[in-house]
Amino acid sequence: MGKRLTNEPPYPQTADEVTAYCTRLVHALQTHVGERLVCVLLCGSWARGEAQPPTSDTDITVIVNTVDDTVLPGLQAAWQAAEMGHANVYGADEVAIMSHEALEMYTTNACVVWGTNPFPTPTQADFAEEVGRSVEYVNRYARGVLLYAWLTPAERQNDVDYMLHDLHRLIQNMLAFRSGAFPKNTAQFRASIVGTDEEVLLQWIEAMPAEVRLAHALAIAERVNAYTQDCVHAVELFRS
């Protein structure tokens, strides 16, 4: 969630309020945009069943056939009529050429509120790309911990925290790469790693109190680095 803007409309606080919010938006778009409307998606924490009011925002994606000068007045009118806050607004023509990065956000982990979702379902090749990006992010911090003896304790702790945050994303992408389905929420993620090397790695790290992890930063980084190499080899095998 980004920083709230001064006059941004309030977030819905319950599932019923989210439903009413989406219904109001769809009605306004149908009224002011008409047949130009392609799809409305609910994304983010509310779609995953992990919203935490009052801080969770409502991630909406609106897709029209194309965002040209003739549709903009209708979109502006719909926004005012629906008292709508932030949303992603795309043309279906833009969707066709968009990056497939984090595609699950608009597909398997989204709820279709209205219309037909134009985003393509992620493929194993898409998830292989995601694994590659995640490996890059994780190793940026893991190798800093391993190589930079000049880091202050605070800087080393910061790198460990970022490394572990990105490690969760890497494991999610590896699960999707292997199974074809990105975990929808934390509960599904945890259920999917039962009995795997990923579960062993996370349990080992998470058993350490946060204040102890700094003392074990090198050992954590070494094991994380070894895991990233396993991920690299799996993608290489897929592509060969």
Which one of 93, 115, 137 terminates a domain? 115
Q: Is the Cβ–Cβ distance between 221 and 163 less than 8 Å?
A: yes
On whether both 147 and 174 belong to a single domain, the answer is yes
Strands of the chain, DSSP E: 37-43, 59-64, 88-91, 111-115
133 and 224 inside one domain: yes
User: How high is the pLDDT of residue 3?
Assistant: 67
Are residue 198 and residue 156 in the same domain, yes or no?
Answer: yes
Identify whether residues 161 and 201 lie together within a single domain: yes
Q: Is residue 7 part of a domain?
A: no
Same-domain pairing of 131 and 224: yes
The answer on 143 and 104 residing in a single domain is no
| Residue 106 belongs to a domain | yes
**Total of domains in the chain:** 2
Residues 134 and 200 in one domain: yes
Residue at a domain's end among 115, 141, 162: 115
Is 222 domain-assigned? yes
Q: Note whether residue 10 is domain-resident.
A: no
Name the pLDDT band for 7 (thresholds 50, 70, 90). Answer: confident
The type of residue at 107 is T
- Taking residues 127-149, report their average pLDDT: 97
Average pLDDT of every residue of the chain = 95
User: What Rg, from alpha-carbon coordinates, does the chain have?
Assistant: 21
Which H or E element spans position 60? Answer: strand 59-64
pLDDT band at 2 (very low <50, low <70, confident <90, very high): low
Does some domain include residue 1? no
160 within 8 A of 85, measured Cβ to Cβ: no
The verdict on 158 and 87 lying in the same domain is no
Q: Domain for residue 28, yes or no?
A: yes
Residue 166 has pLDDT above 90, yes or no: yes
| CATH code of the domain in which 99 resides | 3.30.460.10
Judge if 107 and 181 occupy the same domain.
Answer: no
Domain check: are 73 and 130 in the same one?
no
Q: What is the mean pLDDT of residues 137-151?
A: 97
Domain-embedded: residue 4: no
Domain that holds residue 47: 15-115
Asked if the structure places residue 6 within a domain, the reply is: no
Structure confidence at residue 8 (pLDDT): 84
Same domain, 223 and 138: yes
**In angstroms, how far is CA 164 from the centroid of its own chain?**
16
Strand, coil or helix: 52: coil
Domain endpoint, select from 115, 145, 161: 115
Task: Verify that 132 and 32 share a domain, yes or no.
Answer: no
CA dist 128 and 27 (Å) reads 39
Q: Cα separation of 119 and 135, whole Å? A: 25
Instruction: Report pLDDT digits (tens) over 83-115.
Output: 999 999 999 999 999 999 999 999 999 999 999
State how far the Cα of 145 lies from the Cα of 219, in Å rounded to an integer: 10
